């Protein structure tokens, strides 16, 4: 059983920011957030530029206080 507390509002804001990004993020990113604003990201990106875009987009989302970033380059 998962006993961690999630903040679905922050998770939705992060997902919306990624969905509206330019350049478009084409690979799914898994997002988990806690009520204190910590966000965990996991997934793949096509380029280093996309990785940095994802990191900056998520860091700018209201309510996000910390980002744990596990987005690897697709090879």
Spell out the per-residue pLDDT of the chain, length 75, in tens: 355 688 999 999 999 999 888 666 777 899 999 999 999 999 999 889 999 999 999 999 999 999 999 999 987
Q: What is the pTM of this model?
A: 0.85
Any idea where the domains of the chain sit in the sequence?
8-73
The confidence score (pLDDT) of residue 39 equals 97
Q: 8-73: which CATH topology?
A: 3.30.1340
- SS3 breakdown of the chain: % helix, strand, coil, rounded to 5? 30, 30, 40
The confidence score (pLDDT) of residue 4 equals 66
């Amino acid at each position: 059983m998962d006993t961690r507390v999630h903040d679905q509002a922050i998770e939705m804001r992060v997902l919306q920011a990624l969905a509206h990004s330019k350049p478009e993020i084409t690979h799914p990113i898994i997002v988990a957030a806690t009520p204190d604003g910590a966000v965990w990201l996991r997934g793949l990106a096509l380029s280093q530029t996309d990785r940095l875009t994802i990191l900056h987009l998520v860091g700018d989302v209201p309510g996000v206080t910390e980002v744990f970033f596990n987005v690897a380059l697709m090879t």
